[in-house]
Amino acid sequence: MISNAKTLNYYLQDSDLAHFFPKNYHKQLQVVTYDKGQVICSQGDELDYIAYFFSGKAKVIRRSANGKEHILETLEQATIIGDIELMTKRPVVSSVIALEECTLVQLPLFNKLELLSDPLFLYQVGREIAQKCYQQSISSSANITYSVKERLASHILSVENQGAFILELTILADALGTSYRHLNRVIKQLVDEDLIVKVGLRQYLISNKKELQLLAIQE
């Protein structure tokens, strides 16, 4: 974990970040970078900051009582870390580990009572939690309603860049609620049907986008 060379003002140009943290807290903000493999927060620890996940890619892992770990999701878009812990006064709910260099803008929780008495801040936190609940509801519904093949097609279309995409099977299998072996079989089906083609290690290209779109979840 290192302080980022770019100034805080650079990151505050992002309106969503600037609006999430009320202006009177901006002087307390810290820009922090985590390298690949570093733990951003660990399940069960006390979290001493609330953070805006600005850029990078990280996995969210939950360890169950029997010691098994499950990847709940992959963070690739701006989101808040620590909102649930702050509002529930509980230790860190899930571990977050950087999959590549990640930049966070953190607000140290020096005075939790002051933050929890700030109506603007509470509104922003409440909105973030509501958005997370909405996304989880959609994901849970999709896992029940749609096949792995349909959900994989939707995932590919959401991450592809000019037809190219990467599939990290271990993470993706957990995210889709299936086994690594079954996910491999479904990928092979898409390849056999000429919807996608493998071009390298974990690297693929869409070969028939129209058919892939027809297969994807239509919502």
Residues 152-179 pLDDT 10s? 998 899 889 899 999 988 888 877 888 8
Q: What count of other Cβ atoms lies within 10 Å of the Cβ of residue 137? A: 10
- CATH 1.10.10.10: which residues of the chain? 146-215
Q: Which two tokens stand for residue 119?
A: 């109506």
Q: Looking at the chain, how many residues does it have?
A: 219
Has residue 1 got a pLDDT over 60? no
Which one of 1.10.10.10, 1.10.540.10, 1.20.20.10, 3.40.50.970 gives the CATH number of domain 146-215? 1.10.10.10
pLDDT tens-digit profile of 29-68?
Answer: 999 999 999 999 999 999 899 999 999 999 898 888 777 7
**Three-state secondary structure call for residue 33:** strand
Q: Determine the topology of domain 2-143 in CATH.
A: Jelly Rolls (2.60.120)
Helices (H), the chain: 8-11, 15-20, 83-88, 112-116, 119-145, 148-159, 169-176, 180-192, 209-215
Has residue 2 got a pLDDT over 60? no
**Three-state secondary structure call for residue 18:** helix
Q: Which two tokens stand for residue 25?
A: 């807290």
